[in-house]
Structure 1
């Protein structure tokens, strides 16, 4: 059956209905998750289509095994992101036959055996790129590279050390495109390595290693030495009984540098490596190829070389009955049932991934290059296939924990909330492992399962104590998956789960004018929007789940509230003092440590701090994280990345001559090539005609697409020409738009400048003027957004102009001063008109 192709406008319109008018969620879904082919054709009109795609494919795998789940049962779990949410790569790739890509979110690579040679370094570089082009995030460790100054048997005579290769791998990451986002990379090194200090300092040089996250692996001996002001021995090779390089260092001095750099630039992150290895279930099989060497870019999946993991999140908010009311409670019975099913679905996704890898290998086989060119890529996927099939590693996690706690009238960061969170994660661990044991009985255990190897593992022993019957069955039947659990950042997925709860947004009319506010916190967003009827009146728009709390606690939608009344209402809510900058940071670290005991992989968490905190607090939090049993920790101080990852500032001595300014063309050519940009605001169809000169916008005409006024523009028209005509007798100017239809006939829309509201035209002349004088596009957009306009229609027009121009910002341009709403870092760049975070990969369009 021929598949239906939907226009971008049709998909946006249908998705807007699905997301109850949330334009950001709709655009994120269409741009990132709807099935598309290489030509940009869209084959899904809303997440409903996507969820049926996922359900049908998982059901196909289920049918191979006993007691299969039906497609309808699976769809009901996925629908509206309510219960079970496959993350990123699985959501994009399952059932998508238009892309040859992996379903894995995370990979770690590394050469087996000695790897300190250019051959090994370049091989890892190629493997990294080959994985990133299939949409995977990659991590690898640099501890195998010789320290700077070590003798080498080539023309260099001595080694350059680790840092130049950090830049190499970073540049490779920045080169790889992934449908509107770049690849994601984690570089790690052992603190035991003599070059670890240089590694820690590498990103402090502005503009360096901007394509990678970096984390340092800290062992318990180093942490004790740092706290007790003792010396610590570094060596190379780091794990050798007979090292070639040995030096003693002041551990506390190096620790202070780690703390200072983290305070200043949010990197390096720290990995408490002995805790990771000690708690790791897969490391019980280290001698069989499962020795953990690094983590994925966000740090939640420690992996051995050539292993990978797929991610899935369970939406905790959906299990709260009577949310925000006095009789609210958590439905543990339904939750336990769904955790079992989530683990089962994750195991099915492994089978789907193995099919994808087979397709990748077939694609490589069919490529025209010679076998020696294709060898590394082919061997890479063969190794990943073997590890995936043998260990069957999964990544079941959670999302909306903060909203769950608030809906239960618990304030995040309190002792009571931490106790409840620990209970929830204990239930996840027990039931995910129960599910894995049941599947081992029905489908077979992972290939190398051996209960004897795992008998001293702390995590397994914790499970055995919590549920002796589970442990008894595990020893008898084995386990389907070598490891099961993680807590990953949910990124753009959280934007979609927040807007599909079935709760309409509420607009509260309030009286006095107040500055615009938009806290960067996913738990409660507040915006102030001008009322079109009264310039001195504003509306407060609340997060959907916060609105539920308001409705349960006396909010009257018919009443007008003063700001003081709103403040009083907010102060009573469980969200109050629960945003990222309000939480007791020490309690958050302790909470992470307590939850970590029930997560066999790791937890990705960033501690967000106000700008004015001192380095001693960062030191205290890192030490407490180690003592509490956390496997890793990252801090972000508000504004700490500003200027660190942006363009390099040079001293006057190093300054190069300024670049030649862009050519200014004062006299407009008679004919300009033009793009047609369509968009929708407030259910009205708008259109922009953007004249292009030398690849840059030169002028803009935009407004409502009004068929009655003669703008009869077929949907297929995306380009044309804007022609300037001058009446020689009167000197009157007229701008016409001309396009060519599919049969080659030209159609001209005369008097383009007269088709739109005159007020739009006057503002458009202003904007066109700054475009002609080559003001940077991002600055033009900033100018447009700062215009203080009186009516809602003009403000809507202004938003349309911003959207029309964003697509022309050069990919990679930093959005200086803007923070990522997902992770809080000031690492946003423009990518295909969208703001994309270089730290966490979240993307925001519109």
Structure 2
């Protein structure tokens, strides 16, 4: 990245990771792609633009003073707004909201209008949620044409294809959420729609659960499927069978998640406007159709102070930050350029904002509180109830100054003693993947993804990175050394390490150290004091059972969460490791990546097979009884054939070392026909690549008597960021690279 001369008073405490993320994703670039803005200039650009809203309400307002306050708020990393605001404020695009929900009407015009609107939103940097529950089910009659409907899932594929073609601000593809009510006649097809991992890869999917369905599950009874047009029963399913299929799919693939529609609508603050039927892509923002929301997060690590030898929360400073952040987000509504007129009307009618937190795990570290403890639950409730109370107070204060939101008369606040609110909602716990990297803290309310990890930099140099809070404690207590930190990076946890004091091990836990019930208890604690919803992932180990998933779903419903996402380690094709990769030796995947150095000694086998071009010698080297590389030579043939044979071997070796399954390689090369087919023991050999496939198939896909067996799959793949090659974490419903800021939320 180019070196930018910083202006006077530059932010000298931006970490290397933070600067990398800013330069890759946020700072302005010229036509040649060169960064032409410093971090300070970016924050000044945003502060200046958002402060301009003050003039709308007070022509004598001191814009410069408010700009400076907003600038300090962000550059001290006490608060950061959602990514579109940092990217687009004060620039030509001008779209500042992150979350949108669009209606999908049951007509060709309505469906493709939604596709067009989604494309417009993705181009501006937003993510979109849809309910496909209004669409008539597959094979139902279409009156206007006499044909039959293809159903919601088929139309989801059209939305997915459109998303594939549009990049957000020229940097990344948009993310989508698809919701289908559990009482829709096509629900079983929807639950299974991501079985083919090559389809719908720009969608998160969630089943919209109802109280009536959950009651039927508890009674193991049937429930009604409803025709979307008439709302009348059109069939029945056994509720427990549907629930078990949903659980099975989530266990196997991570999809679908669930949202509780009735619980969401119990807290719909504007029921007079309509019913909430979907959320944004990560599930934390339930929204009405054609509604958007502006989000931001407060960094809790900035409010931990020492008092009488104890680490405590500075609530006075936190209160001041909450009030200023609410003002910032309310201003953002006025300063955003919305991509669709109907969305602008809805947003300005309800003026929803979503203020949340980040750095919660780091805050617990500093206060020596284990994440999986009752004390952590208590402090979560204490902090979030304070944020809720003060954000509502800040909104009331703004209402006195600027007036209530226009749809106030159709809201629940009309009949409450709390007479005035500027914003229909004020709090949301949103994903903070890249924001937390910029701020140098842990993500949202998630536990730490790692205490230590190894980053590979240029020329394959290894750079050890350690959580700064953990490193400080380790150095202070005298147990810090790089060998120990590398060991923690390899194992992914400090638990069980006798070199670390037991009380430290108890406090410094990571995502996979925490039991599922403690994950869901923490989510519920925050949800109890959040207007909107909570983005959090319940991480499960690879050997978790389907019963564990059922327990989480049951608990989420019982504890009145608005939805839940689970992730079983290794269940997604591109699953992400939270450790260095060295610790993956036990799973046999240490060398399954291109670029990994070859072990000095590998065992294997050589097989001779007759082809039409002569005898082929295939040598396969193995690591942990799995193919690692392949060499092929052809006897007494021309140089051209020898060269092609060698090339085939090299490419197969590259594929194997990159983690491609041997069954996939066999599928690609089996049956390729050449000039001279030949019979030999075992059947017809069409060509050199076909001969190689027969050797591999015999070795890896057959038993001793020739019976086909199910091909092996790696239990745990080392998962690397597609942009920088570093390990990624799965949290907050997204894949997030803590090195470069890459995120994929679907």
Normalising by structure 2, what TM-score? 0.73
Give distance in 2, aligned partners of 1:14 and 1:524: 34
The alignment status of 1:838 with 2:729, answered yes or no, reads no
> Which residue is equivalent to 2:472?
548
> Which residue is equivalent to 1:92?
87
Equivalent residue for 1:439, pick from 384, 398, 402: 398
Question: 1:778 Cα deviation (Å)?
Answer: 8.8
The alignment status of 1:49 with 2:51, answered yes or no, reads no
Give distance in 2, aligned partners of 1:19 and 1:611: 42
Question: 1:248 Cα deviation (Å)?
Answer: 1.3
Q: State how many pairs are aligned.
A: 599
> Which residue is equivalent to 2:125?
135
> Which residue is equivalent to 1:493?
435
Per the alignment, in what secondary structure is the counterpart of residue 408 of structure 2? coil
> Which residue is equivalent to 1:450?
409
Q: Do the aligned residues in 2 keep the contact of 1:191 with 1:217 (CA within 8 Å)?
A: yes
Q: Do the aligned residues in 2 keep the contact of 1:20 with 1:500 (CA within 8 Å)?
A: no
Distance 1:570 1:118, change over 3 A: farther
Equivalent residue for 2:315, pick from 332, 340, 350: 332
- Per-residue Cα deviation, 1:210-245 (whole angstroms, up to 9, x for no partner): 11111110001101111220111111127x45x3x5
- Per-residue Cα deviation, 1:620-668 (whole angstroms, up to 9, x for no partner): 11110011010000100001012799xxxxxxxxxxxxxxxxxxxxxxx
Question: 1:53 Cα deviation (Å)?
Answer: 1.7
> Which residue is equivalent to 1:568?
499
The alignment status of 1:526 with 2:453, answered yes or no, reads yes
Question: 1:818 Cα deviation (Å)?
Answer: 8.1
- Per-residue Cα deviation, 1:257-278 (whole angstroms, up to 9, x for no partner): 0000000000101001110001
- Per-residue Cα deviation, 1:418-465 (whole angstroms, up to 9, x for no partner): 011111000001100101101010011111213884478xxxxxxxxx
> Which residue is equivalent to 2:711?
none
Distance 1:492 1:273, change over 3 A: same
- Per-residue Cα deviation, 1:301-329 (whole angstroms, up to 9, x for no partner): 11111111111100011100139x95111
Q: Do the aligned residues in 2 keep the contact of 1:328 with 1:407 (CA within 8 Å)?
A: yes
The alignment status of 1:398 with 2:325, answered yes or no, reads no
Unaligned runs of 5+ in 1: 1-7, 361-380, 457-470, 502-518, 646-769, 784-811, 841-846
Q: Do the aligned residues in 2 keep the contact of 1:225 with 1:231 (CA within 8 Å)?
A: yes
Distance 1:332 1:213, change over 3 A: same
Equivalent residue for 1:182, pick from 165, 168, 173: 173
> Which residue is equivalent to 2:52?
60
- Per-residue Cα deviation, 1:551-582 (whole angstroms, up to 9, x for no partner): 55456789999979985336432675621111
Unaligned runs of 5+ in 2: 489-493, 577-645, 660-719
> Which residue is equivalent to 2:204?
213
Q: Do the aligned residues in 2 keep the contact of 1:523 with 1:575 (CA within 8 Å)?
A: no
Distance 1:212 1:611, change over 3 A: same
The alignment status of 1:27 with 2:20, answered yes or no, reads yes
Distance 1:52 1:567, change over 3 A: farther
Q: Do the aligned residues in 2 keep the contact of 1:90 with 1:311 (CA within 8 Å)?
A: no
> Which residue is equivalent to 2:715?
none
Distance 1:602 1:559, change over 3 A: closer
Q: Do the aligned residues in 2 keep the contact of 1:396 with 1:485 (CA within 8 Å)?
A: yes
Distance 1:452 1:294, change over 3 A: closer
Equivalent residue for 1:266, pick from 254, 259, 274: 254
Give distance in 2, aligned partners of 1:528 and 1:817: 9
Distance 1:338 1:834, change over 3 A: closer
The alignment status of 1:224 with 2:215, answered yes or no, reads yes
Distance 1:10 1:782, change over 3 A: farther
The alignment status of 1:614 with 2:614, answered yes or no, reads no
Normalising by structure 1, what TM-score? 0.64
The alignment status of 1:345 with 2:328, answered yes or no, reads yes
Question: 1:392 Cα deviation (Å)?
Answer: 1.1
> Which residue is equivalent to 1:807?
none
Equivalent residue for 1:418, pick from 377, 393, 396: 377
> Which residue is equivalent to 2:239?
251
Give distance in 1, aligned partners of 2:485 and 2:264: 52
> Which residue is equivalent to 2:630?
none
The alignment status of 1:147 with 2:147, answered yes or no, reads no
> Which residue is equivalent to 2:182?
191
Distance 1:606 1:233, change over 3 A: same
Per the alignment, in what secondary structure is the counterpart of residue 345 of structure 2? helix
The alignment status of 1:821 with 2:729, answered yes or no, reads yes
How well do the aligned residues superpose, as a CA RMSD in angstroms?
A: 4.0
Q: Do the aligned residues in 2 keep the contact of 1:282 with 1:483 (CA within 8 Å)?
A: no
Distance 1:12 1:614, change over 3 A: farther
Give distance in 1, aligned partners of 2:190 and 2:485: 55
Q: Do the aligned residues in 2 keep the contact of 1:11 with 1:30 (CA within 8 Å)?
A: no
Q: Do the aligned residues in 2 keep the contact of 1:133 with 1:176 (CA within 8 Å)?
A: yes
Distance 1:208 1:828, change over 3 A: farther
Q: Do the aligned residues in 1 keep the contact of 2:384 with 2:529 (CA within 8 Å)?
A: yes
Give distance in 1, aligned partners of 2:442 and 2:358: 14
Equivalent residue for 1:578, pick from 489, 494, 509: 509
- Per-residue Cα deviation, 1:118-170 (whole angstroms, up to 9, x for no partner): 12111111111111111110111101111112111355622111221111111
Give distance in 2, aligned partners of 1:824 and 1:441: 35
Distance 1:644 1:254, change over 3 A: farther
Give distance in 1, aligned partners of 2:44 and 2:648: 48
Give distance in 1, aligned partners of 2:341 and 2:437: 36
Q: Do the aligned residues in 1 keep the contact of 2:290 with 2:343 (CA within 8 Å)?
A: yes
Per the alignment, in what secondary structure is the counterpart of residue 124 of structure 2? coil
Give distance in 1, aligned partners of 2:438 and 2:334: 27
Per the alignment, in what secondary structure is the counterpart of residue 317 of structure 1? helix
Per the alignment, in what secondary structure is the counterpart of residue 282 of structure 1? coil
Distance 1:327 1:453, change over 3 A: closer
Give distance in 1, aligned partners of 2:480 and 2:537: 37
> Which residue is equivalent to 1:484?
426
Equivalent residue for 1:627, pick from 542, 558, 568: 558
Question: 1:529 Cα deviation (Å)?
Answer: 8.8
Give distance in 2, aligned partners of 1:575 and 1:37: 49
Question: 1:827 Cα deviation (Å)?
Answer: 6.6
> Which residue is equivalent to 1:76?
72
Per the alignment, in what secondary structure is the counterpart of residue 450 of structure 1? helix
Give distance in 1, aligned partners of 2:382 and 2:258: 27
Question: 1:585 Cα deviation (Å)?
Answer: 1.5
Question: 1:207 Cα deviation (Å)?
Answer: 1.2
Question: 1:105 Cα deviation (Å)?
Answer: 0.3
Distance 1:88 1:822, change over 3 A: farther
Equivalent residue for 1:313, pick from 270, 293, 297: 297
> Which residue is equivalent to 2:610?
none
Per the alignment, in what secondary structure is the counterpart of residue 151 of structure 2? coil
Give distance in 2, aligned partners of 1:12 and 1:543: 29
Question: 1:587 Cα deviation (Å)?
Answer: 2.1
**Which deviates more, 204-213 or 600-609?**
204-213
Q: Do the aligned residues in 1 keep the contact of 2:137 with 2:186 (CA within 8 Å)?
A: yes
> Which residue is equivalent to 1:730?
none
Distance 1:412 1:455, change over 3 A: farther
Question: 1:171 Cα deviation (Å)?
Answer: 1.3
